[in-house]
Chains A and B, each alone.
Chain A
């Protein structure tokens, strides 16, 4: 329980990095060209396998590539896991 109080005492980057193979939960935030994307801070992951109807839904995705300089990468959709509140 103490851990909950101690989490987040740090300065988090506006452009978080991801490793290929990393599985994460994100909100699918929009469409860029033909891709559905998840914007995490100012980093962007294009999500293969997601459609524009999935925007604003929560999804499990697996990162397939990520460029730390451009803060841009790709991921594949594993599962849709929920809705947003509003």
Chain B
């Protein structure tokens, strides 16, 4: 391989590109026809697209939002006065910001961990715990909330938790004569709890990274709000479980749960613990989750919870040069030529985040256009001069703003990324600590993504429930919960919003920048 300086043409091109990139960074402005408000077009177009796609058309496809953001960026460029070069370079400038890169890296690691403990039967462990507790209809929703919260805290995905629990605990609970609406609400509440608190949750990661705070510190500082809401929610599910009647169905819940019951799966509580303890102790999030992955893989293999091929598998065609030689390995399988692939939890966990990664890069690019075009400053000035005029009003505005955006955009991580710069700037204008800002940002993001009938989390669960009549003879259409009926019963979600409103007004948990410094940024 030739090593040396690039030829002159290539060198000139690169230098030219670097100069243009620097120019974009140095220049403070992109002028738009229609004034600085037009710089908000790409993001505004994206938000409108997201509302139509996810809310009105009920298409929860993150890759679809990528198309919306791309089109927004293209149309936005048409309104630029003069050369479009600065606009184009600003897109690059936005995409190469550290805030995007760090979130992406953390997501990839979190995805691998989550899929690996799921491959290792963590859900089966929770099913076993529910069976062992031998609870009746009254307590079943409360315990479901607790176990769903535990799963979501381990795997960091509320959607994954909702799918797993609506497929297993929901039909089992109905056979126990627990109220279906309450049960669905309890599952969604558990999803909110984990999405909000898990160090491997995509929303937790975004909230910490965008507010310049370490993830472990954010999780620890968030605990006080989450636990206050969760204790009240748990009590509410116990009370409501006694007051709300279920549907009488002939059948045995054991038949649903026993197939998926495996006590050994609970060892992954230790895998979760490895991540949480190391992250909160201040270790780098990549290091913390890597420990979790290592522990989970060892448990999976040592206890026979999954095969090596469930974790990583090369499916190779028989005519591949190394196919015969390596086919004896547990992670290599010879398949028909057309089916060659790599699979397993390590692969699928990372791959699951690819659409969100691309979307994040584009949203951050759109936000940078808005900053360079002055639209960001205009909105910020309006908020600071007219709405957020005191620290209480600033925090209330932050709570209300995140609620509004998350109420409209049902894919909650995308909503969180869009609102994050405002939370940062409004909060910093009152020297509100990064941990506090991250907590305000994530609470509504986690909560409202699972409350309204058009929310992504509710739709994911509803889709799963609508498939149950096909799976169980006794499950009738009357047992399918309408998404519009459940929103009042997502107790933990509502309580989390309420806790933060009260916290904003009373100062509960408020910390200023000088009260506590975040761990160094590199620890994230």
Decide if B510 is an interface residue (CB 8 Å cutoff).
yes
Min Cβ gap A76→B in Å is 15
Hey, which bits of chain A sit against chain B, CB under 8 A? 1, 4-5, 7-14, 16, 24-27, 29-30, 38-42, 56, 58, 84-86
Interchain CA distance A39-B508 in the complex, whole Å: 20
Chain B residues positioned under 8 Å from A84 (CB to CB):
212, 424-425, 428
User: A-facing mask of B509-524, CB < 8 A → 1, else 0?
Assistant: 1111111110000000
Interchain CA distance A58-B392 in the complex, whole Å: 22
Interchain CA distance A29-B516 in the complex, whole Å: 18
Interface contact B217-A24, CB-CB below 8 Å:
no
Interface contact A8-B509, CB-CB below 8 Å:
yes
Of A4, A30, A38, A39, which is in contact with the most chain B CB atoms at under 10 Å from its CB? A4
Interface contact A85-B210, CB-CB below 8 Å:
yes
Interface contact B513-A1, CB-CB below 8 Å:
no
Q: Pick from A25, A38, A42: contact of B390, CB below 8 A.
A: A42
| Number of CB contacts from chain A to chain B under 8 A | 97
| Given contacts A4-B217, A4-B220, A41-B430, A24 and B514 within 8 Å (CB-CB) | yes
Min Cβ gap A63→B in Å is 10
Min Cβ gap A70→B in Å is 15
Interface contact B223-A5, CB-CB below 8 Å:
yes
Given contacts A4-B221, A11-B506, A26-B513, 5 further A-B pairs with CB under 8 A are A8-B435, A27-B513, A40-B431, A41-B432, A86-B421
Chain B residues positioned under 8 Å from A27 (CB to CB):
428-429, 431, 513
Interface contact A25-B514, CB-CB below 8 Å:
yes
Chain A residues positioned under 8 Å from B217 (CB to CB):
4
| Given contacts A1-B280, A41-B391, A14 and B223 within 8 Å (CB-CB) | no
Min Cβ gap A66→B in Å is 13
Interface contact B224-A8, CB-CB below 8 Å:
yes
8 Å CB interface, B486-524 against A: 506-517
Interface contact B281-A39, CB-CB below 8 Å:
no
Decide if B298 is an interface residue (CB 8 Å cutoff).
no
Min Cβ gap A19→B in Å is 12
Chain B residues positioned under 8 Å from A5 (CB to CB):
220, 223-224, 280
